[in-house]
Amino acid sequence: ETGVTQTPRHLVMGMTNKKSLKCEQHLGHNAMYWYKQSAKKPLELMFVYNFKEQTENNSVPSRFSPECPNSSHLFLHLHTLQPEDSALYLCASSQGDRGSYNEQFFGPGTRLTVL
Amino acid sequence: GESVGLHLPTLSVQEGDNSIINCAYSNSASDYFIWYKQESGKGPQFIIDIRSNMDKRQGQRVTVLLNKTVKHLSLQIAATQPGDSAVYFCAETSGAGSYQLTFGKGTKLSVIP
């Protein structure tokens, strides 16, 4: 285990549903990330939070809404998704120190299917 | 745009043989590289990293080689085992403190018993 947990592991939702993905890290890290992993595409960075502040938003549609209440927890709120949003959503964390190279530790992911 | 990519999408290797997985990158400013392993049903797992001021780094059964002249990165796995079967990703970033990792598409390694 990497020290990063994600729930649920699998989620099926309709396009009109609202759901949330949860990530928790037990590593004492300060930075947390959301990635999207689709078939035939490289891992895509969605959001980065460092010390609870959002530092990156890679042009992600507003139907994805992140929330970081503290350095250990990260949520991804989902609303009116499209079938093409079906993918594996991965959470990661890292030390978050500026001036250092930060190895990222990944959770197991949530397999999302949008019907 | 600049990207990180892989030469081979699949690789089959006999158990006990050595494996070599290749990666090309195009961002000349990249100065930190990581190899990740992703097994089925799991998230990517860190294997080994290398900074641009090095051309070789060894770990347990793995070696990463960096050729900055041709912007090429490789991962060598010695005495490949069935447990090594997975998808391997290279990733790069530039600048200490950067949170942006750019990942390649991945190479699937299959070990033949």
Taking the CA of residue B69 and the nearest CA in chain A, the distance in Å comes to: 22
Nearest-by-CA chain B residue for A103 = B46
Chain A residue closest to B5 (CA)?
A: A42
Laid out side by side, the sheet with A4-7 consists of A4-7, A18-25, A73-79, A64-70
Q: Considering only CB atoms, which chain B residues are within 8 Å of A50? A: 99
pLDDT tens across A1-11, in order? Answer: 679 999 999 99
- Cβ-defined contact of A99 to B89 (cutoff 8 Å): no
Q: How many Å is the Cα radius of gyration of chain A?
A: 13
Tell me the C-alpha distance between A19 and B27, whole Å: 37
Nearest CA in chain B to A31: B99
Helix (H, G, I), strand (E, B), or coil: what is residue A59?
coil
Q: What residues form DSSP beta bridges with B14?
A: B112
Q: Which of B34, B97, B105 sits opposite A99 (nearest CB)?
A: B97
Interface residues on B facing A, Cβ-Cβ cutoff 8 A? 3-4, 32, 34, 36, 41-46, 49, 51, 89, 91, 93, 96-97, 99-106
pLDDT by position in tens, chain B (length 113): 344 544 448 999 999 999 999 999 988 888 899 999 999 888 999 999 999 999 999 999 999 999 999 999 999 999 999 999 999 999 998 765 566 788 888 899 999 99
Q: What pLDDT, on the 0 to 100 scale, is given for residue A98?
A: 61
- Cross-chain Cβ contact B4/A94 below 8 Å: no
Section A15-20 average pLDDT: 92
Please name which of A49, A45, A31 lies closest in space to residue A104, comparing C-alpha atoms: A31
Q: What digits encode the pLDDT tens for the residues B39-69?
A: 988 899 999 999 999 999 999 999 999 999 9
Smallest Cα–Cα separation from A91: which of A12, A42, A21?
Answer: A21
Q: Which positions in chain B touch A101 (Cβ < 8 Å)?
A: 32, 49, 51, 93, 96
Residues of A in contact with B57 (CB under 8 A): none
Question: Which two structure tokens, joined as six digits, stand for A98?
Answer: 């500026």
pLDDT tens digits, A47-96? 998 877 777 777 899 999 999 999 899 999 999 999 999 999 999 998 87
Which of A42, A100, A105 lies closest to B104 in CB terms? Answer: A42
Which pLDDT score, from 0 to 100, does residue A55 have? Answer: 74
pLDDT of residue A34: 95
pLDDT classification of A42: cutoffs 50, 70, 90: confident
Q: Which element (helix H / strand E) includes A49?
A: strand A44-50
State the Cα–Cα distance between residues A13 and A7, nearest whole angstrom: 15
- Count of CB atoms situated within 10 Å of the CB of B56: 11
Report the candidate in B39, B89, B22 with the shortest Cα–Cα distance to residue A41.
B89
**Inter-chain contact A106–B106, Cβ cutoff 8 Å?**
no
User: For residue A36, what pLDDT is reported?
Assistant: 95
Give me B65's structure tokens.
């080689």
Cα–Cα distance, A2 to A20 (Å, whole number): 22
> Distance of alpha carbon B37 from its chain centroid, rounded?
8
Specify burial of residue B10 (Cβ count, 10 A radius: 0-12, 13-18, 19+): exposed
State residue B29's pLDDT score. 86
Q: Which two tokens stand for residue B100?
A: 């942006």
Q: What is the DSSP letter of B83?
A: G
